[in-house]
Structure 1
Amino acid sequence: MKAVVDEDVCTGCGTCADICPEVFELGDDGIAHVVGDCGEFADCCTEAADSCPVGAITIED
């Protein structure tokens, strides 16, 4: 599994980084970035994607 953040849609709310900091972090630009592989963090990765208020995160197989 691989997470992808649509930087044009992301509002930088930080929900994904709060839920799954092993995979997501907010960059200096105020936008979420993928910093790790979902792999063993599949549950929190999926929860972060499902919790994104603007639907900016997709999970690819």
Structure 2
Amino acid sequence: MLKVEVDRTQCQNFGQCVVEAPNVFRLNSRDEMEYTPDVEDAELDNVEAAVDVCPMQAISLALGR
């Protein structure tokens, strides 16, 4: 299990994470990013890509327990 965290003080809702990991990140009707904090290991590559492309470096991930 992966634990995804987003620093909401850094996030500017650019949506690059949505493109890379659409099963984890999404933009709501107000174009604000929402995400699923606990995701399956199968999403690792997608979440790592989202971390890499985030222009604000607002996303972090850790192995859950």
Amino acid at match of 2:42: E
Contact conserved, 1:3 with 1:38, CA < 8 A, in 2?
no
Task: State the percentage of identical aligned residues.
Answer: 28
TM-score with structure 1 setting the length? 0.83
Q: Counterpart in 2 of 1:23?
A: 24
Q: Counterpart in 2 of 1:39?
A: 41
Match of 1:55 among 42, 49, 57: 57
- Of stretches 40-49 and 29-38 in structure 1, the one that deviates more from structure 2 is 29-38
Shift of 1:21: 0.4
Q: In the aligned structure 2, how far is the partner of 1:18 from the partner of 1:44?
A: 9
Aligned-residue Cα RMSD (Å) equals: 1.6
- Larger of the two Rg values belongs to structure: 2
- Of stretches 38-47 and 27-36 in structure 1, the one that deviates more from structure 2 is 27-36
- Give structure 1 stretches of 5+ with no counterpart: none
* Structure with the largest fraction of strand: 2
